Amino acid sequence: MAQKVQGTEDLFGGYMRAWQHMTDVARELFGSYGFDMIETPAIEQVDTFVHGIGESTDVVRKEMFRVFSGALLDNMLESGSEKGLKPRQRMAMRPEGTAGVVRAAVENNFVPQGGAPKKLWYAEAMFRGERPQKGRLRQFHQVGVEWLGAPDPAADAECIIMLMEFYKHLGFGPSGLRLMINSMGDAACRPAYREKVRQFILDHADEMCDECRERAEINPLRAFDCKNEHCREVMADAPLVHQNLCDECAEHYAQVKRYLDEAGIAYVEDPTLVRGLDYYTRTVFEVEAIGGGVGAIGGGGRYDGLMELEGGKPTPGIGFAVGFERIALALAAQGVSLEGDEPSCVYVACASPEQRDAVFSATLALRQAGVRTEADYQGRSLKSQFKQADKHNACLCVVLGADEVASGSATVRDMSTHEQVSVPMSELAAHVAARLA
């Protein structure tokens, strides 16, 4: 039997409705904050991700699905190298949303010199070549926002407020989430801090794991996240970012916190919070679901240097992304289901096959009146048709039998009260539509 690709899922039924519900909530909430929807291509040039996400990150180094045309791939296999390919021939499936949106912003000049900020949101599939496990797929879905051209710390705070509001609308209780924030500094202070941490690790190299020694050169800040207990102990004495922020970054961070306090947003400051994508500057944040065992269900931050990395003019930016699959798991762990029932409908039944044509006419009229209508297409008995009506969540059942057809009427049964009324066929659609309204 044909099989789906590892780590991918078919979205259908209640699960599909859950994803749609999430995007509906996003459209409404983000729309009220002035965000417009954007859809960027699922494939981009590799360089778009390398420049944005960072060459040293795991996401870029080993998790991107590279894409080549068949002919190109044959040539590469023959020559044993992808050298000589033009940049636009080197493509990858997007592993996250920000790089592509920022690329689109550069290309379409969304934020012209002196122009107003651009606020965008998206709901798309992302692709990462990881081993699947709980809350981790190779093709998964994210909803995210990007707010470009707004350096004000109010933007950071509003982003976080909107994110927390989003979780609330999806059904998370106030105690079900933990928001963590941090500042990573900027081009003025991060390099020096990074060097301090690098030096610290090198000074304690003999006490730390191999991985952390490697991290010293590649991404020293990541050593704070090491799972090795001893490394954690050592890193507890490492210089913290808060004492090493430049004045501008310190004030920005303080202002963000003041705004969050005013909005009544609970947060935990985590000086070791280091997001895995290199483009972040200053404010970073992450949201964890308490229980459910899926870890982070959303995160984001400021990326004031990213537009330049993608070849645009210096333009500040901030955004976040949340994972649909993980949110569904986390909510389920808290006893909340995102999955909706099949919407209710009107079922048209016939007492015997002689009335099949009348059923056809009635369904036609009902659907033209905008009513979600179901009928039998297997020649089932009337009893069985009623069972089907139940399965389809019918609120009304229209019955057409010999008597009804003879008198030009229809029997309309209310499925919950069992009340039945006779309605002239010519008024059926209007009658049903009125009762559903």
Binding site for RNA (CB under 7 A): 3-7, 57-59, 96, 128, 130-137, 140, 142, 211, 222, 225-227, 274-277, 286, 293, 295-299, 321-323, 325-326, 351, 380-384, 386-391, 394, 397, 399, 401-404, 411, 413, 415-416, 418, 420
In terms of C-beta density within 10 A (0-12 exposed, 13-18 middle, 19 or more buried), how is residue 101 classed?
Answer: buried
Query: Minimum Å distance from CB 253 to RNA?
Result: 20
* Burial (Cβ within 10 Å: 0-12, 13-18, ≥19) of residue 265: middle
> Minimum distance between the CB of residue 88 and RNA, rounded to whole angstroms?
26
Question: Closest distance between RNA and the C-beta of residue 342, in Å?
Answer: 13
3-class secondary-structure state, position 6: coil
CA distance 141 to 28: 18
Question: What's the token pair of residue 195?
Answer: 């060097």
Q: Which of 320, 283, 289 is nearest to 181 (CA)?
A: 283
**Based on CB atoms, which residue is closest to RNA, 83 or 383?**
383
Between 149 and 323, whose beta carbon lies closer to RNA? 323
Q: Which is nearer to RNA, 265 or 415 (CB)?
A: 415
Q: Which is nearer to RNA, 127 or 259 (CB)?
A: 127
H helix or E strand, kind and range, residue 346:
strand 345-350
Rounded least distance, CB 139 to RNA, Å: 9
Nearest approach in angstroms of CB 262 to RNA is 26
Please state the closest distance from residue 133 (CB atom) to RNA, in A: 4
Asked whether the beta carbons of 98 and 159 are under 8 A apart, the reply is no
CB nearer to RNA: pick between 178 and 255: 178
Rounded Cα gap, residues 249 and 16, in angstroms: 42
* Residue 135: CB minimum distance to RNA, A: 6
Q: Which long-range contacts (CB under 8 A, 24 or more apart) does 404-408 make?
A: 404/355, 404/358, 405/354, 405/355, 405/358
CA 258 to CA 250: how far, in whole Å?
12
Q: How far is the CB of 247 from RNA (least distance, A)?
A: 28
For RNA, the closer CB: 7 or 151: 7
Q: Which is nearer to RNA, 212 or 256 (CB)?
A: 212
DSSP state letters, 243-285: GG--HHHHHHHHHHHHHHHHHT---EE-TT---SSTT-EEEEE
Cβ proximity to RNA, 313 vs 391, nearer residue:
391
Backbone conformation region of residue 379, classed left if phi is above 0, alpha if psi is from -120 to 50, else beta: left
Strand order in the sheet with 43-45: 43-45, 91-93, 66-67
